[in-house]
Structure 1
Amino acid sequence: MNYRHAFHAGNFADLVKHATLTLLLDRLRADAAPLTVVDTHAGAGGYDLDGEMSRRTGEAAQGIFRLMEAQGAPAEFDALKAAVRAGNPKGGVRFYPGSPSLIAGGLRRGDRYVACELRDDDHALLAQTLARHPGAKAVQDDGFGVAGREAGKGGRLFVLIDPPFERADDYERIAEAMGTVLGLDPDACVAVWLPLKDLETFDAFLRRVEPAAPELLIAEARLKPLSDPMKMNGCAMVIAGGPAGLEGPLEAICGWVAGRLGETGGRAEVWSTAS
């Protein structure tokens, strides 16, 4: 999967990922303990939907544009919609916030955000995005390694993993990183975004992760049947160590995306691997 996020900003998968992200941040901030967030593949931080890469795919038209126009969307999207409105004070939807904007904007005094990005151009944009947030730092480093080094330092750790899936071993590296983080910090929360192409790839990843995280909460939004491994037919959030009570909100998020943006037969499912 050749993936640079500017091509896909604001698409259906971003709605699932970012609504889930704001939900998790809200629940984790309910704890008074300082929160450290590691974003392993942060990207540029925000995106111009009028830019060449976004216009080339047009994916935002069937994602954030639909959400912002929709009546009666679940309240779980309210935080994302508010961030979009704040980033477009003149109205419309030209600028879309990436995870760095959503995370940094909600930091409390004492919280930390480490945003990792390897690309030179995206790292420069990321640093600009985070410059006005004193608790946030953009680092040009391997995010998987950074997550492991931050584990066990104290406070509550939240790791967001959303790689570009350009490397053949990304699934293996995700599983390895989860094992390292949870081995050093069993109370950490780790949330992974995954494309859904075919069940074999998805199931193989879950089997690989199970030894390190036997209790996973999985939220799937399937917009098409998982029958073509060359296409992104949906997406999933895989969460280890999440706060209690996420099932209902995740069902609302994935259900709306699958039902409103998917093809006939699109469906959502939220389930746990806990015995």
Structure 2
Amino acid sequence: MNYRHAFHAGNHADVLKHVTVLALCDALTSKPAPLFALDTHAGRGLYALDSNSAQRTGEAEGGIGRLIAEAPKHPAITRYLAAVKACRAQHGNASYPGSPWLLAHALREGDRIAACELLPEEAAQLKANFAADTRVAVHARDGYEAMKALLPPKFGDVRFNRGLVLIDPPYEAQLQEFDHIIGAVREALVRWPQASYAVWYPIKLRRSLNQFFRRAATLPVKSSLLAELMVHPDDSPLRMNGSGMLLLNPPWQLDQTLRAALPLLQKVLGETGASSRIEWLKPAD
């Protein structure tokens, strides 16, 4: 599976991912201690939905476009739409924020962000997009290697005991990518066990996820949660029917927030046979 983000910016998968990322950030910033966020596959951080790439697929029309038009009432969805509106006020009405932009928007002056991108052209644009934000460090490197190098995070005399690692790879080889994720997260948890980890994954063939979930359930975390949004019936092998977020050490009550928001997203973005679910792989004690 080849998931190039410029073609898919603002689609249903981005809606799920970015609603979740902002909910995570808001929960984490409810406490005063500074945070560190690592975005392992950051892309360019900002997209134009009127570009040839986005127009070629038109996926944003069935994602953020439809959600703006209907704007269901839930605090997590309203928060996300407000962030998109803020991005467009700053960068133009066709803009769409990637996860690095949303992290920078949601986190505070004393927080720090590392955004990693391996593709040289994307990394250069990412660096240009955040050149004026001293909180954001851009790394033109492999995100999994960065997890080894940058965790646990420390800037000068400041150690960050809390934070977020967002893992959003392109899944060009899906089963192999799952191996990379599990291995990298298991190692990272040794160095930074108290952080929250959020892994986005596509849903195409359901059975291909079973081993990933079994292995994820063995990770040494306090709790782990699945949040999924299916916009097509869960039985087509020809397309990405939906996507999910694996959330490790999620903040308190994040499950309740998403449990109320996902059915609303399903109703707006899904066709007949769409679904959503929240399921604990490992419930909190």
Q: Same fold (TM over 0.5)?
A: yes
Distance 1:124 1:150, change over 3 A: same
Contact kept? 1:183, 1:212, Cα under 8 Å: no
Distance 1:83 1:273, change over 3 A: same
1:1-275 equivalences under 5 Å are 1-89=1-89, 93-153=93-153, 154-155=159-160, 156-168=162-174, 169-213=176-220, 215-274=223-282
Offset of residue 71 of structure 1: 4.1
Contact kept? 2:18, 2:99, Cα under 8 Å: yes
Unpaired runs of at least 5, structure 1: none
Offset of residue 69 of structure 1: 1.1
Aligned partner of 2:156 in structure 1 is none
Unpaired runs of at least 5, structure 2: 154-158
Residue type of the partner of 2:120? Answer: D
Contact kept? 1:18, 1:99, Cα under 8 Å: yes
Contact kept? 2:71, 2:78, Cα under 8 Å: no
What RMSD over aligned residues (CA atoms) do the two structures have, in Å? 1.8
In 1, the alpha carbon distance for the partners of 2:178 and 2:257 equals: 26
Offset of residue 172 of structure 1: 0.5
Offset of residue 247 of structure 1: 1.4
What's the % identity of the aligned pairs? 38
Distance 1:110 1:272, change over 3 A: same
Residue type of the partner of 1:5? Answer: H
Cα deviation code 1:104-136 (max 9, x no counterpart)? 123323311000001111111101111121110
What TM-score do the two structures reach when normalised by structure 2?
0.91
The runs of at least 4 consecutive aligned structure 1 residues that moved more than 4 Å come to: 90-93
SS at 2:89 equivalent: coil
Offset of residue 152 of structure 1: 2.8
Residue type of the partner of 1:253? Answer: A
In 2, the alpha carbon distance for the partners of 1:32 and 1:243 equals: 14
